[in-house]
Chains A and B, each alone.
Chain A
């Protein structure tokens, strides 16, 4: 019994290969989009982790030579014997690989993670055996050394003992820098005495960069979520149609005595087979998508961390698992309602057509009800969401609610248009479109989600880019940043700068507690740089004048949010209590900040001396540095050219943008495919519906053109409805999810041209999808149309 019934169910597909193709392709595309985004995300994270953990020397303060050159290793022993806990490092290029020499016994714990398998003889690592650590890909490029494989290392990076590195790089006795361990012993002799030629480079803190990267990942994660939602709708549509077409067969099978649960079981098994096949295709597809996009992602992260991100893809088992998992989960989720429908379907449905119609009506009103409930929840969450979980719940309810609301809204719009239509063709066109709507609604929901997701994510990325560019201009307004390591050097710098007509802006800070939050207080000199470049989120008039007069402070957004501080609120810093005159955006910084006038700072924190300075230089910064070095001995190693920092940051966003655009086009293509699939499936049912119009005098060509027009019109309506949804989505990402994740809100900018371009893409997808079915319709042989009347089935 089972075999006969299963063969009957499957026989449907052999007779209708296009339907089989659309079902499998829909499933595979949804899986592919999901696993592609996941793959990129996972690979980016893996690369990022490897890159970050291979060398986080940036976490530590470092001693470097004043002139930025390598120096003798004897200094290392001298400092150690004086009690300073420092560890030497040396890096250089070896066969195109960045070779990093470390001293394993003195390096800070947590540096240089290496996992070793089995019995590795490490004796050679420390005793000049020319052993280096590298991952398998990098190892293949290293000749003449023994490579210990460790996949935790980033690409193009090898780690060796400092002695081995000196030998391989031909720099005997030299080191680049000394890492300063965090917990130094008490009562150490001053560095200036024992290592006068070295200067302290403070830890980079890493938070600026980490903030950027995390946001990039959040961006991709949101995209993954949205692509999943789009995919589920497509799969749902494909499966729903596949079941709908076999209603007659299901009824006959049951009339012939196939038990219901057996039938459901068979259809479930069939679904799972399809999920497996489509899932495998989909994961492979996702791999291709990711492989095509990954070079851009890798370039993005390379911009952040130097040449250490893999530009190639590894087919990780976890992707297979997650890709197949999503194919199965999506299929089951989407198939559940179809199977439920089969289970509930009356055996003699034909006898009660009205009951069926009533059921459809009930489903429509249930759907609208569910949509309203979800949107209401989203509305409430929009005002109350304060964490990542509620933020993502808001995203989910908003998207699903809006998607469910789409068919009723479209129906209302069409009913309105139908009522207004003049002329018999127009009336028939609108009425017929309404009749088509149920069959197309899932595809249209997918299209709307795809457009909305693209609008949302594009808006988020672009807003982020604009904000950050402005922020970089504000924060890196000075042409040069210089650190000094003694009061004498500071005096020399100030003297030289005055002579050269440059303004010296000291950067000095103290760690304090404000409103129960850890915060940094900055003492700031009165200068036009601040008034001209810093933008406030909120401020009183003349905020800077009040601040520089010592009558007020300005604080960053993080402190304002966490300390619940607003304009005019009093802030206690030591013995001072001053009102807040302004709140500024401070992106990428984890903790609170207060800016205080320099004099007030000096009074409150007399022990703190500025050692870092921003310099406003009129001429070429390079000339200034040359002059400074000659005049004061402050070397290039102590100066930072801010143009370089800015260029790197901006390049990152260009790359992010490239990836986002590519993903935009992909999601739209998938949504377009969903439309194509629905239209193809509906095509067979269309013939009887169109035959009367044809019989009454409309040409087949005109019918085909109207079919195309109908698809385009529905796509335009859907896109129009997707725009507000996309903007709402962007708002959630910027104002809720970002705040929950990073503690700051990004201002939202609008990009009408981008939206128009996206709308164009969506239209193009719809035209491409509707084109073929319309063409086929226009070429339907008259005989087929006549059959409708000859043999009314």
Chain B
């Protein structure tokens, strides 16, 4: 079935130089388990699109159907529930909770969603090569390790859709390749759909489909 339908989405930001249209009628679809790369120049609107799909922001017009639900119809609490359970976001900036240990960070979102599965978390930690670091705090890990924690955290509640915003943008090339391998492998295993923003053509080529944005429109 179709996991995600995005239909003529528009979004405009107010800036110091006047209104700036970031998205100008973007449409796309994603089947369950399918992976899609979103590419484009800086400012082409790919991160904004990702935020809208993840329920982090609201569109001005258009429609987002996620898992049969119209996101626009959800209130704040509904969108928070969506973020907890249906989608998982991997940020470029990791966004770990600095005061929690790695094990707790991995389990965190699953516990918020009420779907904590200790065995699955342990598997994720092992697959992400974090087993030796579970009792450490985020600041004690390298950037690549932190991003692996963030990915594990995102996958822990078994989301139907994983959104990733330049997940390896802060990492060096070698580390980035390793992390990306792990992520793609695990996402595929869980059967989740993946929508990944990247400016790397190489990375984009590894996903099943690819969509290029230019000036807020699908090219």
Contact = CB atoms under 8 A, between A and B. Distances in A.
Are chains A and B touching directly in their complex (CB below 8 angstroms)? yes
Interface of A: 1, 3-5, 7-8, 11-16, 248-249, 251-261, 347-348, 350-352, 354, 791
A252 B95 contact: yes
B56 interface: yes
B80 A5 contact: no
B95 A8 contact: no
B77 interface: yes
A634 B113 CA distance: 97
B111 to A, nearest CB: 4
Interface string B131-175: 000000100000100000000010000000000000000000000
Given A15-B99, A255-B89, A260 B76 contact: yes
Given A254-B80, A256-B153, A791-B143, 18 more contacts: A5-B112, A8-B100, A12-B99, A13-B99, A14-B99, A249-B98, A252-B97, A254-B83, A255-B89, A256-B108, A256-B109, A257-B82, A257-B112, A258-B80, A347-B57, A348-B56, A348-B57, A351-B51
Which A-B residue pairs are the 4 nearest by beta carbons?
A257-B84, A257-B83, A4-B111, A11-B99
Contacts of B51: 348, 351
Given A260-B80, A347-B57, A11 B112 contact: no
Contacts of A791: 143
B52 to A, nearest CB: 11
A687 to B, nearest CB: 13
Contacts of B16: 354
A1 B95 contact: no
B57 to A, nearest CB: 6
A705 to B, nearest CB: 29
A11 B97 contact: yes
8 contacts: A1-B112, A1-B114, A14-B99, A248-B95, A256-B153, A257-B84, A257-B85, A354-B16
A4 B112 contact: yes
Contacts of B114: 1
B84 A8 contact: no
B99 A16 contact: yes
Contacts of A253: 97
Contacts of B104: 7-8, 11
Residue in A8, A14, A248 with the greatest tally of chain B CB atoms within 10 Å: A8
B81 interface: yes
Given A4-B108, A256-B108, A249 B99 contact: yes
Contact of A257 (B15, B80, B91, B107): B80
Contacts of B77: 259-261
Contacts of A8: 97, 99-100, 104, 108
Contact of A258 (B82, B107, B112): B112
A471 to B, nearest CB: 63
Contact of B109 (A11, A13, A257, A351): A257
Interface of B: 13, 15-16, 51, 56-57, 76-77, 80-85, 89, 91, 93, 95-100, 104, 107-109, 111-114, 137, 143, 153
Contacts of B107: 4
A13 B89 CA distance: 27
Nearest to A355: B14
A13 to B, nearest CB: 8
For the complex, would chain A's binding face be called helix, strand, loop or mixed by DSSP majority?
Answer: helix
A289 B95 CA distance: 46
Contact of A255 (B95, B100, B111, B137): B95
Contacts of B137: 15
A139 B97 CA distance: 63
B56 A249 contact: no
Contacts of A254: 80, 83
A3 B110 CA distance: 12
A248 B84 CA distance: 18
Given A1-B113, A257-B113, A249 B85 contact: no
A249 B70 CA distance: 28
Nearest to A793: B93
A730 B109 CA distance: 58
A257 B99 contact: no
A256 B98 contact: no
A252 to B, nearest CB: 5
Contacts of B15: 354
A342 to B, nearest CB: 13
A1 B96 CA distance: 17
A259 B76 contact: yes
Nearest to B51: A348
Residue in A4, A253, A256 with the greatest tally of chain B CB atoms within 10 Å: A256
Contacts of B83: 254-257
Nearest to A792: B170
Contacts of B153: 256
A790 to B, nearest CB: 11
Contacts of A350: 93
A1 B113 CA distance: 6
A256 B85 CA distance: 9
Contacts of A15: 98-99, 137
B87 to A, nearest CB: 9
Contacts of B99: 8, 11-16, 249
A17 B160 CA distance: 39
Contacts of A258: 80, 84, 112
B141 to A, nearest CB: 11
Given A14-B99, A15-B99, A255 B56 contact: yes
Contacts of B100: 7-8, 11
Contacts of A252: 95-97
A251 B82 CA distance: 16
A414 B111 CA distance: 49
Contacts of A256: 83-84, 108-109, 112, 153
Nearest to B47: A351
Contact of A259 (B57, B81, B98, B111): B81
B39 to A, nearest CB: 20
Contacts of B80: 254, 257-260
Residue in A11, A350, A352 with the greatest tally of chain B CB atoms within 10 Å: A11
Nearest to A791: B143
A356 to B, nearest CB: 14
Contacts of A1: 84, 111-114
A8 B107 CA distance: 11
B134 to A, nearest CB: 15
A347 B98 contact: no
A347 B56 contact: yes
A249 B97 contact: yes
B110 to A, nearest CB: 9
Nearest to B116: A4
Contacts of A12: 99
A657 to B, nearest CB: 49
A477 to B, nearest CB: 73
Nearest to A787: B139
Contacts of B82: 257
A1 B109 CA distance: 9
Contacts of A261: 77
B122 to A, nearest CB: 17
A8 B105 CA distance: 9
B124 to A, nearest CB: 16
A260 B84 CA distance: 13
A757 B84 CA distance: 60
A494 to B, nearest CB: 90
A4 B106 CA distance: 12
Nearest to B110: A4
Contacts of A3: 111
A354 B20 CA distance: 15
A142 to B, nearest CB: 62
Contacts of B98: 15, 248-249
Contacts of B113: 1, 257
A425 to B, nearest CB: 32
A497 to B, nearest CB: 87
A350 to B, nearest CB: 8
A3 B104 CA distance: 12
A1 B130 CA distance: 24
